[in-house]
Structure 1
């Protein structure tokens, strides 16, 4: 765990320190667009078997680093590991996304929930983190992550994916105290989960608030941001995680960047619906920014990808504190060669911007 980092560009950018070029990694960079990932997934037999095997999770985490000059690795796992460890019975139906056998709908359901044992039900995640750190040999930093309390609650109450997660929204309106009890329990669980990943060797921590953008301004602050801030506060209070940069990413919530920066996080993920220049103005230098190319651009010709990469970099400008990424996860139909075009152009043009 003490092996010196050979490439700390990503961590330097999160600290808003100068770098020789813009660091880049890609959300879902270990995924179905890679033929080697599909082969490992087939060998595992199921997504859950893949995610719960530390050896296979390590294997797929490292696969994109063999193809591309990425500046960070991210743990291969799923955002729903916490509710699964709470006994809700997670499964993935073919072509239908996640489903829970025991959704959380009543006060009794919520009162039964407890923070999972990180050395018990979730030990496989920490074993994967330890193994990945060992196999990286200091090549690049490792990012640990979790879903946000709001996003986890969306799936737990609905029992599956949804366009609007209306069941949880209805709970927030009609029984806000009960909704906050659920979200508070989840905030405690997310904090404990990320602290355990830090103890296992994660070097940065990211919270994915995938469904925060479904909420209006006041509800976002009350039901999503409030509990993300609770997580950040817990991380900053614990010796294992207090020095690690925390990235918050709330898809579709660009209008809340200033308030999110007030949480004490190191960086904010930004989707493609806001210009990075406007995002920089909103956060006023308080945090780094990560983003924000539309993933669909990777389906375009290489010359278009290069042009759009340069547009994003020009939008941020020659300032420290930018990590290039997509505005959301890479999609399965993307040609891996297009990802190489993106990564190489980020580094080449990033160097050019720095003179």
Structure 2
């Protein structure tokens, strides 16, 4: 694969090329901590409006780009966005997250689901990603994102977010065949959706398996990894050169298992020391993370020390600097700005 220095920094680092500093972006970098976003939310109170009206979603996606010039600009969307296109009716309640109107509980409901056709079901995705690529050019990398099969199934079966996941675990442990069929359908549709995002302009795609950390290791091996892998394998058949990132919330005990998914880059959260994560994952796996979002409430000296510590432990290859999860709503914007400025001043020693 040819090395092109014209390509943006994050894309080059994600491919494993040598770069002179770690690229940096933040999960949830467009959102409530920014006054510009809160102002726009008053005009468009529905999350689905903000994420599905192209002009509005483009404006939101670009708010942090204009403010901080991160190395990654991510599509403003939600992991449940493709569900209606499969036949699962949902809405996203402000401050509460996704609500599924008819949770999937029966074989008949699983049978009725259909393969996602993004062009017709998600007509807003193409103009958003196309515009983001035009806007940032080679100055930044455009990221797409999707939910993983287990996490989408958890929403679809539970009907909303959960603290115990007792409904889907009931299905997993008492009627696994229905769940496996559901997970396979999700994997096939998500793969279609990832390919579509890449075709529309996404240069790197991150898959969020937000709730897979709620599984025991043996259940993760049964219900999460095989379907993560199914998505990644299907995408790599057609788009082998697009780097794919995997995030699992609360993944400290699962890092080695995450590495078997076929993801190119593993997101590490702050409950693992980055040097330990590097040792556990091995030298060929690239990493993203892993600053505690709470660090951004600290002083500038504290933020700088933590950023430098993380970068030093990650080493000078295959690291994308990020938080271990999304930026928190009350975070001071000035500290976000300082985080980006600090990151960009770091240079790897030759």
TM-score (norm 1): 0.94
Q: Tell me the residue number matched to 2:258.
A: 260
Give the distance between the partners of 1:14 and 1:330, measured in 2 at CA.
Answer: 21
Q: Confirm whether residue 112 of structure 1 aligns to residue 112 of structure 2.
A: yes
The whole-number CA distance in structure 1 between the counterparts of 2:262 and 2:151 is 20
- Equivalent residues in 2 for 1:243-322, closer than 5 Å: 243-317=241-315, 319-322=316-319
Aligned position for 1:18: 18
Aligned to 2:99: 99
In the alignment, structure 1 residue 207 sits paired with structure 2 residue 204: no
User: Across the two proteins, how many residue pairs are aligned to each other?
Assistant: 347
Residues 7 and 71, structure 1, Cα contact 8 Å, conserved in 2? no
* Runs of 4+, deviation exceeding 6 Å: none
CA 1:144/1:5 → structure 2, altered by over 3 Å: closer, same or farther? farther
Distance verdict in 2 for CA 1:72–1:5, change over 3 Å: farther
Q: Following the alignment from structure 2 to structure 1, what is the Cα–Cα distance between the partners of residues 103 and 23? A: 40
Q: Give 1:1-355 correspondences, 5 Å limit.
A: 8-238=8-238, 241-317=239-315, 319-348=316-345, 350-351=346-347, 353-354=348-349
CA distance in 1, matches of 2:260, 2:210: 19
Measured in 1, the distance between the counterparts of 2:135 and 2:344 equals 24
Q: What are the superposed Cα offsets for residues 317-337 of structure 1, whole Å, 9 maximum, x if unpaired?
A: 3x3111000000111111111
Kindly provide the CA deviation profile for residues 177-234 of structure 1, in whole angstroms up to 9, marking residues without a partner as x. 1111000000001100000001111101110010110000010011011100000100
Q: Is the 8 A contact 1:261 1:286 kept in 2?
A: no
Which ranges of structure 2 fall in alignment gaps of 5 or more residues?
Answer: none
Task: State the distance in 2 between where 1:324 and 1:101 align.
Answer: 38
- Compute the RMSD of aligned alpha carbons: 1.6
Alpha-carbon distance between aligned partners in 1 of 2:182 and 2:265, rounded to the nearest angstrom: 26
Q: Could you tell me how far apart the structure 2 residues matched to 1:93 and 1:210 are?
A: 18
The 3-state SS of whatever aligns with 2:206 is strand
The 1-side partners of 2:192 and 2:265 are apart by 20
CA contact (8 A) 1:54 1:131 kept: no
- Name the CA shift for 1:340/1:146 in 2 (closer, same or farther; >3 Å): same
Q: Does the 8 Å CA contact 1:5/1:139 hold for their aligned counterparts? A: no
Give the deviation of 1:5 after TM superposition: 8.3
Q: Closer, same or farther in 2 for the Cα pair 1:143/1:94, shift >3 Å?
A: closer
Q: 1:106 & 1:5 partners in 2: Cα distance?
A: 52
Unmatched 5+ residue regions in structure 1? none
